[in-house]
């Protein structure tokens, strides 16, 4: 047994629902690849049971857990501390047990950044248009601005809902130019366009924005990972753009959580293969 894991061999995801999560396949493949005696399970945690479930992290000796919808925000007061990014965006997707303390992290935005860099895209070099103003959009925006993006256009179907997101980001990153607009507003050419709405998950979903101005100098990323190539990505590809599918973010947010828990590099290729395999099956 590895010295790091004399007792803490249990990991998991708390969600409601959680049973369809792809994380167990990805993390268990990583544990097997590194010969770590650990297991990762999906736990269906109803909202009223969240405090008990969080207490159980310590009581049952978990090494760490992921949290997903609807617990990402409400879990924060139940933890001992959160890191700077999770604190700024007010959402946690990874809990680590450090010296008996429960520490909240958010790896979504950094996972997205890693997926861009892996695709050879440096987001700092171009304006960014971000569609959607939910939790994932906020995490991605924070990571991009922290990386040095200085021109960010936030787009959503409701300007009222997007205003507090823009205000929060502007106060954290006062040097950046952060503007708001509707989803229907024109997209400038040569931007990094990111879909952080769920549009594209269902077969008859409309495109989240107009695609006429997308061209060979554009980069289009989609957070939606099922299907792997969304209608937006397919349209962008036809127009010659570089595309970045959502599977990369899913992979890298998991790899970052794995690295926080185990303090060793994640076997990214193994985790990717596990994700691809389970997505093909479902």
Task: List active site positions.
Answer: 72
List the interface residues with ligand NAP, window 182-201 (CB under 6 A).
Answer: 183, 196-199, 201
> What is the residue-wise DSSP string for 40-85?
EEEEE--GGGHHHHHHHHHHTTEEEEEE-TTSTTTTGGGSSEE-HH
Q: Does 250 bind ligand NAP (CB under 6 A)?
A: yes
Contact pattern from residue 73 through residue 102 relative to ligand NAP, giving x for each residue in contact according to CB under 6 A and a dash for the rest: ------------------------------
Whether residue 169 contacts residue 151, with contact meaning beta carbons closer than 8 Å, is answered with no
117 token code pair: 């860099």
Q: Does 132 bind ligand NAP (CB under 6 A)?
A: yes
User: Exposed, middle or buried by CB within 10 Å (0-12, 13-18, 19+), for 227?
Assistant: middle
Between the alpha carbon of residue 185 and those of residues 7, 160, 215, the distances in Å are 54, 15, 17
Q: Which of 134, 228, 234, 273 binds ligand NAP (CB under 6 A)?
A: 134
Q: Does 224 bind ligand NAP (CB under 6 A)?
A: yes
Q: Which of 225, 231, 233, 262 binds ligand NAP (CB under 6 A)?
A: 225
Question: Count of residues binding ligand NAP (CB under 6 A)?
Answer: 24
Describe the crossing of helices 247-262 and 268-281 by its angle, rounded to 10 degrees: 130
Beta carbon of residue 27, minimum distance to ligand NAP (angstroms, whole number)? 14
Give the residue closest to ligand NAP by C-beta.
134
Residues that bind ligand NAP (CB under 6 A): 108, 132-137, 156-158, 161, 183, 196-199, 201, 223-225, 246, 249-250, 253
């Amino acid at each position: 047994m590895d010295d790091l894991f004399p007792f803490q061999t249990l990991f998991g995801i708390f969600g409601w629902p959680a049973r369809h999560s792809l994380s167990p396949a990805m993390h268990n493949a990583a544990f097997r690849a590194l010969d770590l005696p650990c297991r990762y399970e999906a736990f269906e945690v109803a909202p009223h049971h969240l405090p008990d479930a969080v207490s159980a992290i310590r009581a049952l000796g978990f090494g760490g857990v992921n949290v997903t919808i609807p617990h990402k925000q409400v879990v924060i007061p139940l933890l001992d501390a959160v890191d700077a990014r999770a604190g700024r965006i007010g959402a946690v997707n990874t809990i680590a047990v450090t010296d008996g303390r429960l520490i909240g992290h958010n790896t979504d935005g950094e996972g997205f950044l890693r997926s861009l860099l892996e695709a050879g895209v440096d987001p700092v070099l171009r304006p960014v248009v971000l569609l959607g103003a939910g939790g994932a959009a906020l995490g991605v925006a924070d990571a991009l601005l922290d990386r040095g993006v200085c021109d960010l256009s936030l787009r959503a179907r409701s300007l009222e809902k997007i205003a507090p997101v823009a205000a929060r980001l502007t106060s954290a990153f006062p040097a950046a130019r952060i503007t708001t607009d509707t989803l229907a507003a024109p997209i400038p050419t040569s931007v990094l366009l990111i879909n952080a709405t769920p549009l594209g998950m269902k077969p008859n979903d409309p495109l989240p924005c107009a695609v006429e101005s997308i061209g060979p100098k554009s980069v289009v990323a989609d957070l939606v990972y099922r299907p792997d190539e969304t209608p937006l990505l397919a349209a962008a590809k036809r127009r010659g753009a570089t595309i970045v599918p959502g599977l990369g973010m899913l992979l890298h947010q998991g790899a970052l959580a794995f690295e926080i828990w185990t303090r060793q590099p994640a076997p990214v290729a193994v985790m990717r293969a596990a994700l691809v395999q389970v997505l093909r099956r479902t």
